Chain A
Amino acid sequence: MLSLLAPAGLLLGLTLPVVILLYLLKVRRVDQRVSSLFLWQSMPRDLAAQEPLQRLRLSVLLVLQLALLALATLALARPAVVAVGPPPVHLVLLLDASASMQAIDPGESASRFERARAAAEAAVQAAPEGSSFSVLEARAHPQVLLAREPSAARALEAIRAARVSGAAADMPGALLLARSLAGTGTSRRILAFTDQAYSLPPSERDLLGTDLEVVPVAGDAANSAITVLGARPRLADPDGQDLYVRLEHFADEPRTVEVELRVADQLWEVRAVELAPDKPAELVFEGVPTAAGAASVAIRKPAVTAAHDSLSLDDVGYFALQARRPTQVLLVSNGEPRLERALTLVRRAEVFRVTPRRYLAADVDRFDVVVFDRDVPPLLPRGNILILGPSGTAPFLPQGPDQILRQPQTLTWEQDDPLLAFVDLRGLSLRRARVLEAPAWARVPMRAEGAPIMLAGVDAVGRRVVVLGFTPLESNIASLSAFPILVNNIMDWLAPPALVSHHQLRTGEATDLTPLARARDLVVSGGGDQAARSIIPVPRDAAPITFGATDRPGVYVVEQRAQDGSLLPEATERFAVNLADPAESDLRPRGDSVVTTATQEVAEVPLEREFWWWVLGLALPLLALEGWWFHRR
């Protein structure tokens, strides 16, 4: 049955007589003088007329324009065919892309995620005509793949493009996103395709409401998993580490498995472990050499069969064995034994000395910290710096002649400043000290007679700078017990942080990468996919970079490249990423998170299927034909 949804649109049809009237009216012509009409007089007379109205002549243009107007009128009235069927809905499809969805249940050939995608595709194909679709992925950071798309084909494309992750999903966040995307209309449906291998706190169960339909894709799956990994340096052996591993067995029957340790890809040790249901087993591997760089533990393959283990992702655990690199310190001095001795006492520091005359010949950018004893070059190095007793035209001094404090009587210092922690300066006696000029970025931990004699801060190019207005020779500081503590504090603060802030991560977690100031970019590779490489440009101020592309378990290698593209070999670090999530490894469905799907009887309703776009589609070629005809005259 045909109906018009906007009959008022037919009013446009009133313009049809206007078109005809325009053809009856003669055109307004411009006077144009010619030498004579003699040659024009025998012209065909169809364009000449003496009356304001002319006889209506049927022309192709008139017919085309009337047809166009008629079609536009019909389209404006929104013609529709009335049919009976289910009402269109807004279908929100939430695909659980957590690590547990990689599991292959017994008796199934496809993973849970593949089955979830197939179910979602079936839901799209079964949706009533006129429905719209939204597609979301529930992963560590939920993603919207498609929002309110009326095309079922686009929805199917989005579902096929969805990928399962190696991390736990933020299911509450995904559900909240799904609900906000669904809106408040009555025609919405939220379908969650999940294995329900997650637990929701009671406070978050309200998020689900009653309009969520869970389509379960789980089976009766057993799984043995490595759920906790840890590495710590051995106190007795600084070059070795102890590795801690916890195994859990999520099944009803006990089993025995073999666990192997590989160090630098070489088999190191194999142990048999009895696994009881819901009773963790713990293993410690001692004395693994840090120099190996990486190690892994795995539940041995022969013991893992489809019948007993549905998820292989958590059968392997990785370790990054990272020894902290010693801080490279360059002392630029003509000889100051007490300062040099204090520096050598600093933990994890390698001290090198060069005289000021040979400073320019040294590769200063290789050093993490450069200590200037009085002589300061005009061009400061890229690394962090400590300056003692600057003089002449050195930076951080006021303009003009040096302002020298001789035997100042009052000395104040900030006890809360980290550089002066546990530093007792009450016995400090200064023979002379230079007054410093504090830039905007610097703090003043120490003053003499109210004038700054110590500065510390991070300058405009991201370099850490500490300046002392006096040297050990100009004071008795070297004889105080506070001196090595002060030097240690300063070097601790100046020593660059480790490249990788966390060396053991769970999938989906982020770590901070703090590059060297001389690095141009970072190259992160690994994660089980040797071909995958992320190249991250280093910011100008070498600020820490948060790296979160840790979706795959494995050992990741972070390399730093210099400005000329060469690798900085001493600046390479590793970190390990593991699933290590008992909630994901426990593949058994949990009743507390199941929301019963309410099967609703949907009454068929009359549906009006508009076809005005077909009408307009017919008008377009007519319009083109009309234009062509007009211009060919």
Chain B
Amino acid sequence: MPTAAQPSDLIPAELAARLDRLSLVTRQRLLGDGHGERRSRRRGSSLEFADYRAYSPGDDPSRVDWNVYGRFRQLQVKVFEAEELMGVSLCLDASASMRWGEPDKFFRACQIAAALGYLALAGGNRVRVTALRRRGAERSRDFWGRRQAAELLRCVGGLTPDEVALERDDEAGSLERLAREAQRGAAARRAQLTILISDLLSATWQEAIRALEGATSELVVLHVLDREEINPSLGGDLNLVDQETGAREEVTLNAEVISWYQARVQSWLAEVADFCARRGVRYVRHVTSSPLEQWLFRDLRVRGVLR
């Protein structure tokens, strides 16, 4: 039974310091409902100074106008013409299949969600976390501003994956159904950027992506897998038991079967990547055995999710 992670477990202080130098990237101009740090079409195409506003905790100190402070002893923040507030929805697959691997796939997913949520808040965006569970989608409240980063981390750290299923239960936790629920919530809150963090180990992964894609301006799929799922080291006569549904499969894992499975995994991964690419969905894979920091700062930047 995994326990909730501490915020410091999710994002160590050194990682948080490095994250401050990054920001989320969107491919298109977004519609927002408040002030933020992203430019809006509604305000024109140029990035021009518009006004001052009073500083509030969580604002980027670099935007403080120190000349004004020197003259009036008041902290004033520059407001530019095209800044918009962006809604970021972090959809976290909390199904039982995520409670697997070394390190635990769900823990790694939480780390990713925390890091991206922190980045979003640091950029002045609104963030919501949705855990996709067998019993339904579980949504958090909205977090806004850097000062709510600690609350966001506590929220993410408090999430646990579903328990292991003991009975065969194929459809109850269908990823597609959960995604639709999440999509309804996202649509209601007008999320512009949705980030799905999942192992996609479900027969309805395509429907799930389609559902989320339709409800958001931009979708990012972060595919979390364990190395053992890609190159299993199992062998012999086994009764494979599905962690999520309790279903069983008798196999004799010899070299031939292992080769078949590896080919199947590679074919599936290629299929997922191709599916996302065709829909303009950014897709990045993460194997839990690889270092998180390297993946965040290299792979996500290479794939245009961060800059």
Structural contact, B239 and A40, CB atoms closer than 8 A: no
Interface residue ranges of B86-105 to A (CB < 8 Å): 97-98, 100-101, 105
**Chain B, residue nearest A30 (CB):** B238
Given contacts A29-B238, A42-B264, A633-B254, contact A37 B105 (CB under 8 A): no
B54 at interface, CB cutoff 8 A: no
Given contacts A32-B234, A47-B257, contact A38 B202 (CB under 8 A): yes
**Chain B, residue nearest A48 (CB):** B250
- Min CB distance A633 to B, Å, is 5
Contacts of A47 in B (CB 8 A): 250-252, 257
Given contacts A36-B199, A36-B202, contact A48 B249 (CB under 8 A): yes
Structural contact, A35 and B249, CB atoms closer than 8 A: no
Structural contact, A31 and B250, CB atoms closer than 8 A: no
Structural contact, B229 and A35, CB atoms closer than 8 A: yes
- Min CB distance B174 to A, Å, is 12
CA distance A34 to B241 in the complex (A): 6
Q: Which of A28, A34, A39, A40 has the most CB of B within 10 A?
A: A34
Given contacts A30-B238, A35-B243, A36-B199, contact A633 B264 (CB under 8 A): no
Structural contact, A39 and B249, CB atoms closer than 8 A: no
Number of interface residues of A (CB under 8 A): 23
CA distance A35 to B162 in the complex (A): 12
Structural contact, A633 and B256, CB atoms closer than 8 A: yes
Given contacts A43-B261, A633-B256, contact A48 B251 (CB under 8 A): yes
Structural contact, A39 and B201, CB atoms closer than 8 A: yes
**Chain A, residue nearest B98 (CB):** A35
Contacts of B240 in A (CB 8 A): 32-34, 37, 40
CA distance A34 to B232 in the complex (A): 10
Structural contact, B201 and A38, CB atoms closer than 8 A: yes
B236 at interface, CB cutoff 8 A: yes
Structural contact, B265 and A30, CB atoms closer than 8 A: no
Structural contact, B105 and A35, CB atoms closer than 8 A: yes
A44 at interface, CB cutoff 8 A: yes
Structural contact, B252 and A27, CB atoms closer than 8 A: yes
Structural contact, B239 and A38, CB atoms closer than 8 A: no
Q: Mark A8-30, 1 if CB is under 8 A from B, else 0.
A: 00000000000000000011111
**Chain A, residue nearest B268 (CB):** A39
Given contacts A29-B238, A31-B239, A47-B257, contact A37 B264 (CB under 8 A): no
Interface residue ranges of A441-485 to B (CB < 8 Å): none
- Min CB distance B233 to A, Å, is 11
B49 at interface, CB cutoff 8 A: no
CA distance A28 to B238 in the complex (A): 8
Structural contact, B251 and A40, CB atoms closer than 8 A: yes
B40 at interface, CB cutoff 8 A: no
Contacts of A620 in B (CB 8 A): none
Q: Which of A26, A33, A43, A49 contacts B241 (CB 8 A)?
A: A33
CA distance A29 to B234 in the complex (A): 13
B260 at interface, CB cutoff 8 A: yes
A109 at interface, CB cutoff 8 A: no
Interface residue ranges of B200-250 to A (CB < 8 Å): 201-203, 226, 229, 234, 236-245, 247-250
Contacts of B236 in A (CB 8 A): 30
Q: Which of A26, A29, A34, A44 contacts B242 (CB 8 A)?
A: A34
CA distance A39 to B260 in the complex (A): 11
Contacts of A48 in B (CB 8 A): 249-251
Contacts of B256 in A (CB 8 A): 633
Q: Mark B256-284, 1 if CB is under 8 A from A, else 0.
A: 11001100110010000000000000000
- Min CB distance A304 to B, Å, is 85
Given contacts A35-B244, A38-B203, contact A30 B264 (CB under 8 A): no
Interface residue ranges of A219-233 to B (CB < 8 Å): none
Structural contact, A39 and B264, CB atoms closer than 8 A: yes
Structural contact, B202 and A32, CB atoms closer than 8 A: no
**Chain B, residue nearest A40 (CB):** B249
Contacts of B98 in A (CB 8 A): 35
Structural contact, B261 and A27, CB atoms closer than 8 A: no
Structural contact, B245 and A39, CB atoms closer than 8 A: no
Given contacts A32-B234, A35-B244, contact A43 B260 (CB under 8 A): yes
- Min CB distance B246 to A, Å, is 10
- Min CB distance A14 to B, Å, is 27
A41 at interface, CB cutoff 8 A: yes
CA distance A44 to B256 in the complex (A): 11
Structural contact, B245 and A37, CB atoms closer than 8 A: yes
- Min CB distance A458 to B, Å, is 76
- Min CB distance B211 to A, Å, is 18
Contacts of B248 in A (CB 8 A): 37
Contacts of A37 in B (CB 8 A): 240, 242, 245, 247-249
**Chain B, residue nearest A34 (CB):** B240
Structural contact, A32 and B238, CB atoms closer than 8 A: yes
CA distance A41 to B264 in the complex (A): 10
Q: Which of B201, B239, B251, B257 contacts A35 (CB 8 A)?
A: B201
CA distance A44 to B244 in the complex (A): 22
Given contacts A39-B268, A41-B249, contact A29 B199 (CB under 8 A): no
Q: Mark A569-594, 1 if CB is under 8 A from B, else 0.
A: 00000000000000000000000000
Contacts of A49 in B (CB 8 A): 250
- Min CB distance A630 to B, Å, is 10
CA distance A48 to B248 in the complex (A): 10
**Chain A, residue nearest B230 (CB):** A39
Structural contact, A35 and B241, CB atoms closer than 8 A: no
Interface residue ranges of B141-184 to A (CB < 8 Å): 164
Structural contact, B97 and A36, CB atoms closer than 8 A: yes
Across the A-B interface, give the 7 residue pairs with the lowest CB-CB distance, nearest first: A36-B201, A35-B100, A37-B242, A29-B239, A35-B97, A32-B238, A36-B97
Can you offer 19 A-B residue contacts whose CB atoms are under 8 A?
A27-B237, A29-B239, A31-B239, A32-B239, A32-B240, A32-B241, A33-B240, A34-B240, A35-B98, A36-B202, A37-B245, A37-B248, A38-B202, A38-B203, A39-B229, A39-B268, A43-B251, A47-B252, A633-B255
Could you list which residues of chain B lie within 8 angstroms of chain A, going by C-beta atoms?
Answer: 97-98, 100-101, 105, 164, 199, 201-203, 226, 229, 234, 236-245, 247-252, 254-257, 260-261, 264-265, 268
Besides A35-B97, A36-B199, A36-B245, 11 other A-B contacts (C-beta < 8 A): A26-B250, A31-B238, A33-B243, A35-B201, A35-B226, A35-B229, A36-B97, A36-B243, A39-B261, A47-B252, A633-B255
